[in-house]
Amino acid sequence: MLAGARETVASPTEVAIAGLLHRAATSTTSLIPILGSRTRAQLDATLGALDVTLAPDQIARLDAVSAIPLGTPHEQINNSAPAIAGGKPELLEAAGIPVA
């Protein structure tokens, strides 16, 4: 977060909120960041995020540091995919449905 802030000349708050806004814009589900500014300075930082543009590598780093491990059973199933598919996990991928 701090490295991203230094690279964009923005505050860590602005970088964090800009990352959430980017995630919301690219999400396949509804994602609405709910922000609770209590002071004028917090509101200014929140609104300042609207002017922050993050580079793809910055977004990737934010995603990596904010990733939440899913734990059991998700990781067990994901790690057993090669064994389930006889060494060919790509066979478990759902085939796309052709659209005319």
DSSP conformation class of 87? T
Domain count, the chain: 1
pLDDT of residue 5 exceeding 60 = no
Q: Are the CB atoms for 81 and 89 separated by under 8 Å?
A: yes
Average pLDDT, the chain: 81
* Structure confidence at residue 39 (pLDDT): 94
C-alpha 55: how far from chain center: 13
Q: Domain range spanning residue 39?
A: 2-68
| Cα 16 from Cα 80, distance rounded (Å) | 34
Q: Is the pTM of this model over 0.75?
A: no
Instruction: pLDDT band for 3, please (50, 70, 90 cuts).
Output: low
Is residue 38 a part of any domain in this protein? yes
* Structure confidence at residue 96 (pLDDT): 66
Cis peptide before 89 (omega within 30 of 0): no
